[in-house]
Amino acid sequence: MLCMACGATVQKGYTTDVTDLGDCLIIVRNVPCYKCQECNEVTYTGDVVKKLEEIVKMAKSYMNGISIIDYSKAA
């Protein structure tokens, strides 16, 4: 698989996703991704995007401030 930003090779890995909702910040750690070896661009699969949206929606419903969630435990 090639990077959409620079065309270099990407490898499977994990990253931290940060969603700023204005009144709260949701941090999801250990998110599976494809990471570029050259520019560090991160790409998610459709399944991961869908799960991240579910995690953010769930966290948003019961918190304000900062929430840090481990993807592997929430998925």
Q: Please write the tens of the pLDDT for every residue from 27-62.
A: 999 999 999 999 999 999 999 999 999 999 988 887
Alpha carbon separation from 26 to 9, 18, 45, 56, 58 (Å, rounded): 29, 6, 20, 7, 11
Q: Which residue has the higher pLDDT, 66 or 69?
A: 69
Domain that holds residue 64: 15-31+45-74
Query: Residue 67 above 80 pLDDT?
Result: no
Q: Which of 25, 19, 12 is nearest to 51 (CA)?
A: 19
End-to-end CA distance of the chain: 24
Q: Is residue 9 part of a domain?
A: no
pLDDT recorded at residue 65:
67
Number of domains, the chain: 1
Q: What mean pLDDT is reported for the chain?
A: 90
User: How far apart (Å, rounded) are the C-alpha atoms in residues 12 and 16?
Assistant: 14
Which of 34 and 1 is assigned the larger pLDDT? Answer: 34
Q: Is residue 10 one of the residues assigned to a domain?
A: no
Judge whether 5 lies within some domain: no
pTM of the full structure: 0.80
Q: Is residue 40 part of a domain?
A: no
